[in-house]
Amino acid sequence: MALAFDEYGRPFIILKEQEQKTRLRGIEAQKANISAGKAVARILRTSLGPKGMDKMLQSPDGDVTITNDGATILEQMDVDNQIAKLMVELSRSQDYEIGDGTTGVVVMAGALLEQAERLLERGIHPIRIAEGYEMASRIAVEHLDHIAQNVNRCKRPLAEISVKAVLSVADLERKDVNLDLIKVEGKVGGKLEDTELVYGITVDKDMSHSQMPKKIEDAKIAILTCPFEPPKPKTKHKVDIDTVEKFQTLRQQEQKYFDDMVQKCKDVGATLVICQWGFDDEANHLLMHRNLPAVRWVGGGRIVPRFQELTPEKLGRMASFVFDDALGNKMMIEEIKRSIHDALCVARNLIRNNSIVYGGGSAEISCSIAVEAAADKYPGVEQYAIRAFADALDSVSIALAENSGLQPIETLSAVKSQQIKENNPHFGIDCNDVGTNDMREQNVFETLIGKQQQILLATQVVKMILKIDDVISPSDY
């Protein structure tokens, strides 16, 4: 507090540190961090599973994205809270390492935080909770190894395309796949069933003339950077044409230049011309009449800068060239591309490790039963954290049941009882109302390494959040 005077000599008091923000410490900081993490998980919870709801995301420039992909939702969300950013990084790590399960890992972390909050209210130290979670995660990961099975092939058409694409670029000796060698392209229009695998490249361009052929077998391709037009002198000049004869002479000169360019392409054996630049209308007309298909405004590839350098050795080879066009919804294509990306990642993970666990929450329920049974072996306070971990595993199955319009508690209890009674870890939530909850019969499965990574990543992030007991902002320095 300080005493000061105004211009009239009247005293007034200055209160220092007025309206200073309260700094969060101890249990209050931990609860605030847990609340932030739970808020992010709550957003994604309704998007989990095949019947999960979509989110509509609007960017600052007005673009709208509709998706239920967890990584895409969190990537486009404007998040300020640092703990919420940790959850975004959690989803991004799952997407980078595995490529699938980005929603499930955040929902799992949110459930662990919710259970940890209850344990904190009961007076259990956060370090003991973190240690109990670590023990439980090891039990769950080992149990997943126990219930996993090997798989050799997949039957569904879209999955078949993904598997074939991955196998075509896979390094089977190193058991690794570089997904950068696979490009997923979307063409507006058509149906999902029109998806096909191309062993080659696709160029999103039209033919330069509508009457040019749409398919070419055994194509020999000339890739040019020089435009199909008369040369332009570097100096400024004017051409005065005052008679019809002069105009005809100019036209004939241009015609001869175009004829020479087209004939040069024909002489070297090219059956398809791809040009980085545009075509003059006259050149385009000649190309069509000389039966030489062409595509313009294409960038990249091994190119020829001048017609004088065009030789048969510089032509590309292609078994076939097919031009296709379609009309339709771009937003749907983007969502399908995200689904194909997930399928490609699953196929890549199966190359790395061909073990699977069954989906529909069956793996989480089986792990929950195993973790709950193992908790009795730990006499310390960690036992409470281990049991809480088992309850968090159940929350994933509860979310699946809720999103599918089922009674969550009744459904979970019935499936859990069935797994214990028949000693079968394949029973899960019948989200698609097929009539059986045996995920093996429904062919619903997830990769082993993907599910293990979900549990390990979620546990590590929750442990990190629990160990934060002080939130210091830059103004506190």
- Summarised one tens digit per residue, pLDDT across range 37-51 is 898 899 899 999 888
Q: What pLDDT sits at residue 185?
A: 76
More confident site: 414 or 4 = 414
Any idea which fold 26-152+355-476 has? GROEL; domain 1 (1.10.560)
Alpha carbons 312 and 31: distance in angstroms, whole number: 72
Confidence band for 299, pLDDT divided at 50, 70 and 90: very low
> What is the pLDDT, as a whole number, of residue 393?
94
pLDDT at 389 over 90: yes
- pLDDT of amino acid 82: 84
Do 26-152+355-476 and 215-322 share a fold?
A: no
The pLDDT of residue 191 is 66
Task: List the single range of 9-13, 31-35, 138-142 with lowest mean pLDDT.
Answer: 9-13
Check if 69 is active-site: yes
Return the structure tokens found at 127: 């370090």
Residue 1 in this model has a pLDDT that exceeds 50 = no
Question: Of 96-105, 130-139, 244-253, which has the strongest mean pLDDT?
Answer: 130-139
Question: What are the tokens at 281?
Answer: 């209308």
Lowest mean pLDDT across 176-190, 342-356, 433-447, 455-469: 176-190
Q: Are 103 and 47 in contact (CB under 8 A)?
A: yes
Q: What is the pLDDT of residue 144?
A: 93
Q: Is the pLDDT of residue 420 over 80?
A: yes
Residue 279 predicted with pLDDT over 70: no
Residue with tokens 């319009």: 405
**What CATH architecture applies to the domain 215-322?**
3-Layer(bba) Sandwich (3.50)
**What pLDDT, on the 0 to 100 scale, is given for residue 155?**
43
Give pLDDT tens digits for 19-33.
445 666 778 888 888
Span 439-447, mean pLDDT? 86
Contacts of 48 (CB under 8 A, 6+ apart): 103, 104, 107, 396, 399, 400, 403
Residues 152-172 have a mean pLDDT of 71
The pLDDT of 446-471, averaged and rounded, is 90
Higher pLDDT, 219 or 120: 120
Averaged pLDDT for residues 61-89: 84
The domain ranges of the chain are 26-152+355-476, 157-198+329-350, 215-322
pLDDT score for 19: 45
Distance, in Å, from the CA atom of 11 to the CA atom of 6, rounded to the nearest integer, reads: 7
Task: Average the pLDDT over each of 237-241, 280-284, 346-350, 425-429 and give the range with the smallest value.
Answer: 280-284
Residues 6 or more apart from 129 whose CB is under 8 A from it?
A: 116, 119, 120, 385, 388, 466
pTM over 0.75: no
Whether residue 342 lies in the annotated active site: yes
Check 46, 65, 67, 103 and give the catalytic one: 103
Per-residue pLDDT tens for 199-237?
A: 776 766 666 666 677 777 777 777 776 766 766 666 677
**In this structure, which long-range contacts are made by residues 214-218, counting pairs with CB atoms below 8 Å and at least 24 apart in sequence?**
214/322, 214/323, 214/324, 215/320, 215/321, 215/322, 215/323, 216/271, 216/272, 216/293, 216/318, 216/320, 216/321, 217/319, 217/320, 217/321, 218/271, 218/318, 218/319, 218/320
Question: How would residue 145 be classed by pLDDT, with cut points 50, 70 and 90?
Answer: very high
169-202 residue pLDDT tens: 788 777 777 877 787 777 766 666 677 787 776 7
Mean pLDDT (the chain) is 79
Q: Is the pLDDT of residue 92 over 50?
A: yes
What is the structure's pLDDT at 30? 86
pLDDT at 311 over 70: no
Query: Mean pLDDT across the stretch 350-356?
Result: 81
Q: Which of 46, 69, 394, 447 is catalytic?
A: 69
277-284 mean pLDDT: 66
Exactly one of 65, 95, 100, 342 is catalytic; name it: 342
Query: What does the block give as tokens for 98?
Result: 């595995």
Highest-pLDDT range among 104-118, 263-277, 290-304, 308-322: 104-118
Inter-residue long-range contacts of 15-21, CB under 8 Å, 24+ positions, other chains counted:
21/473, 21/475
- Which among 65, 72, 102, 271 is annotated as catalytic? 102
- Does the annotation mark 102 as catalytic? yes
